[in-house]
Amino acid sequence: MAALGWLTPRKRSATARSVLAGEAAAEAARKTSQELESVATADATAEKPAEPAFPVVGDVEAAAFFDLDNTVMQGAAIFHFGRGLYKRKFFQRRELARFAWQQAWFRMAGVEDPEHMQDARDSALSIVKGHRVAELMTIGEEIYDEYMADRIWPGTRALAQAHLDAGQKVWLVTAAPVETATIIARRLGLTGALGTVAESVDGVYTGKLVGEPLHGPAKAEAVRALAAAEGLDLSRCAAYSDSHNDIPMLSLVGHPYAINPDTKLRKHAKARDWRLRDYRTGRKAAKVGIPAAAGVGALAGGTAAAVALHRRRR
Give the pLDDT confidence of 70-101 residue by residue, as tens digits. Answer: 999 998 888 788 788 888 888 777 665 665 55
DSSP run (H or E) holding 173: strand 169-177
Torsion sign over Cα 110, 114, 120, 125: positive
Rounded Cα gap, residues 263 and 281, in angstroms: 16
pLDDT the model gives residue 38:
62
The DSSP code for 13 is -
Question: For 202-218, what is the mean pLDDT?
Answer: 90
Q: Please, which residues have CB within 8 angstroms of residue 214's CB and are 6 or more apart in sequence?
A: 173, 174, 175, 194, 195, 196, 197, 222
pLDDT the model gives residue 100:
55
pLDDT the model gives residue 287:
39
Of 211, 277, 205, 214, whose CA–CA distance to 241 is shortest? 277
pLDDT the model gives residue 76:
82
Rounded Cα gap, residues 252 and 238, in angstroms: 9
Share of the chain above pLDDT 70, in %: 63
Residue type, 23: E
pLDDT tens digits along 157-183: 999 999 999 999 999 999 888 999 999
Rounded Cα gap, residues 287 and 75, in angstroms: 7
Which residue did the predictor score with more confidence, 255 or 314? 255
Mean pLDDT of the chain: 77
End-to-end CA distance of the chain: give it in Å, rounded.
107
pLDDT tens digits along 237-251: 999 999 999 999 999
pLDDT of 268 strictly over 90? yes
pLDDT the model gives residue 290:
30
pLDDT of 6 strictly over 50? no
Of 161, 144, 137, 159, whose CA–CA distance to 77 is shortest? 144
Point out the residues that are catalytic: 67, 69
**Helices and strands, number each (H, E), in the chain:** 11, 8
The DSSP code for 75 is S
Q: What is the rounded radius of gyration, in angstroms, for the C-alpha atoms of the chain?
A: 29
Exposed, middle or buried: residue 158 (CB in 10 Å: 0-12, 13-18, 19+)? exposed
